[in-house]
Amino acid sequence: MPESRPATPPRSQTTLRKQVLAWLCWPLLLLWSVSSVVDYDIANRFVNLAYDRALLESALDIGRQVKVLKERIYVDLPEVAVQMLQSRESGRLYYRVTGPQNDYITGEPDLPPPPDPFSERVNYYDDQYRGRPVRIVTLQLPLEPGKTERMVMVQVAENRSARNDFARQILLRMILPQALLIVVAGMMIWYAVGRGLAPLVTLRHEIENRSHRDLSALPEEQAPQEVRPLIHAMNALLERLSAALAAQQRFIADAAHQLRTPIAGLKTQTELALRQAPQGEAQTTLRQLQSGTERTTRLVNQLLSLARAEPLIGRVQASELIDLRQLAREATSDWVPRALERNVDLGFDADSHAAHVQGNSFLLREMLNNVLDNAVRYTQPGGQVTVRVAASGSGPTVSVEDNGPGIPDGERARVFERFYRVLGTGAEGCGLGLAIVSEIAQSHGAQVSLYPGIGGIGTVVKIVFPQLGGNFDGQASELASM
């Protein structure tokens, strides 16, 4: 036995709008990320430059207060200046002043010394002080102007947290507008793609609202240039499909026409043989042959009716204003002999309101004939069949009700299929009657429904036609008054 393969899970469906948005937004997000890194580096450089300059100014201020008195070096910092250094807005400053022999003069004695001796007058470096990262500036000043033999080193340090916070604030003020710009761009892209795909949505609605019989070409005037090849291909497919359906219908009609003549001849010869043959087995065989010939004749006639009922693109059917009451009355009268033959009570009922429809009288009569044929054929002897015509609010309605065996609920949707018959009825048929009724009704814009009869006995076939509009209402009123 072949091994059964697990079903492949369906892929997640993505819309064209989402794909376009993804292809545009991912590069924008990547550029935004790169821009954020560059912006942070630029902001950090500018903040460090500003803070380093302020730090150097503090070191210069301290350096100006270095004095030499009697070979003793000291720093003349007033208490107010010290408090100002310790309460700066950007954070507390730490300082230390050392003499030429690296001897401590004043300030924080544990301030980290420079990692290497500096030859430059001003140097900056980063280090740790009291468990926190600090930025330190080193300033070397001569004790005597113009002489570099004896130098005093001034160190000033501050925590890096203030400048880091300031750099982050600058970065946020730069990247937030960029992020907002990306969001607005995404929304504009979403809207623009939706507007661009609007012709496709219109085309989808055009296809969804079409009848399965409408194989006319799709409009392409409003379609974008990129979509027109697709519409051309679909129109070519519809044209080929229309040609194939037309060929199929012509074949059915031609075959039915070709069969009518030999079947009519066979029926005539069978009836003649029945009159001439003696009673016995020959009579039984000839009657069976006659019954089969009649069923074949009915099948051929129904195939012709079905071929006429199916509308084709490019074929215009004759349409006129029809009095539905008069048409139903005449069709009912034609079936009275057949109903009497089967001992079925066939009646007609119509209200006083005018019921006019626009359509083909031949096809509508054929539709009523098939409904009446089913009702009379499947109703038991002694049963009743009633044809009713009414002008309801939803539109002109014709219904045929019988008290026969009825149609089970599960079979009502399938009886409109071609060559489908409900089993166990005991009546002869080919399963095309209600299929023809459905085709003719749909070609006239009518709706066919099946209901159980009164008390759940029998079947009601109800056909509701659309309301007439425009000039047809006036014509219907004139006909009603005649």
At 430 the pLDDT is 61
Q: Which pTM was predicted?
A: 0.46
CATH of domain 18-168: 3.30.450
Closest CA to 383 of 368, 405, 407, 398: 405
Q: Which of 40-54, 236-250, 274-288 has the highest mean pLDDT?
A: 40-54
Give the DSSP letter of residue 469. -
User: Hey, is 171 helix, strand or coil?
Assistant: helix
At 379 the pLDDT is 87
Domain boundaries, the chain: 18-168, 228-309, 320-481
At 260 the pLDDT is 66
Q: How many CB atoms lie within 10 A of CB 369?
A: 18
The one-letter code for the residue type at 220 is E
Instruction: Name the region of 419 (left: φ>0; alpha: ψ -120 to 50; beta: rest).
Output: left
| β-pair partners for 450 | 461
Give the DSSP letter of residue 473. H
Q: What are the tens digits of pLDDT across the range 158-191?
A: 888 888 888 888 888 888 888 888 888 888 888 8
pLDDT category at 386 given cuts 50, 70, 90 is very high
Q: Which of 98-107, 267-276, 307-316, 323-332 has the highest mean pLDDT?
A: 323-332
With a pLDDT cut of 90, the percent of the chain lying above it is 5
With a pLDDT cut of 70, the percent of the chain lying above it is 78
At 472 the pLDDT is 40
Give the DSSP letter of residue 427. -
Residues found in the chain:
482
pLDDT category at 424 given cuts 50, 70, 90 is very low
Closest CA to 155 of 209, 193, 108, 215: 108
400 vs 434: CA distance, rounded Å: 13
- Whether 2 shows a pLDDT value over 50: the answer reads no
Q: Among all chains, which residue has been given the structure tokens 């069976």?
A: 288
Pairing of the two strands 384-392 and 345-350: parallel
**Burial level of 12, CB count in 10 A (0-12/13-18/19+)?**
exposed
Calculate ∠ Cα 24-25-29, nearest 5°.
130
292 vs 334: CA distance, rounded Å: 24
Instruction: List the helix and strand counts (H, then E) for the chain.
Output: 11, 14
Instruction: Report, as an integer, the average pLDDT of 92-115.
Output: 85
Neighbouring C-alpha atoms within 13 Å toward the C-beta of 111: 28
- Whether 396 shows a pLDDT value over 50: the answer reads yes
User: Hey, is 116 helix, strand or coil?
Assistant: coil
- Residue 306 token pair: 């079905």
At 6 the pLDDT is 46
At 256 the pLDDT is 65
Instruction: Name the region of 198 (left: φ>0; alpha: ψ -120 to 50; beta: rest).
Output: alpha
Mean pLDDT (the chain) is: 78
DSSP string of 177-218, one letter each residue: HHHHHHHHHHHHHHHHHHHHTHHHHHHHHHHHTS-TT--PPP
Q: How would CATH label the architecture of 228-309?
A: Orthogonal Bundle (1.10)
Q: Higher confidence at residue 259 or residue 333?
A: 333
235 vs 218: CA distance, rounded Å: 6
Q: What are the tens digits of pLDDT across the range 110-123?
A: 888 887 766 678 88
387 vs 347: CA distance, rounded Å: 6
At 480 the pLDDT is 38
Name the CATH superfamily, with its identifier, for domain 320-481.
Histidine kinase-like ATPase, C-terminal domain (3.30.565.10)
pLDDT category at 74 given cuts 50, 70, 90 is confident
How distant, in Å, are the alpha carbons of 6, 7, 8, 261 from that of 3? Answer: 10, 12, 15, 56
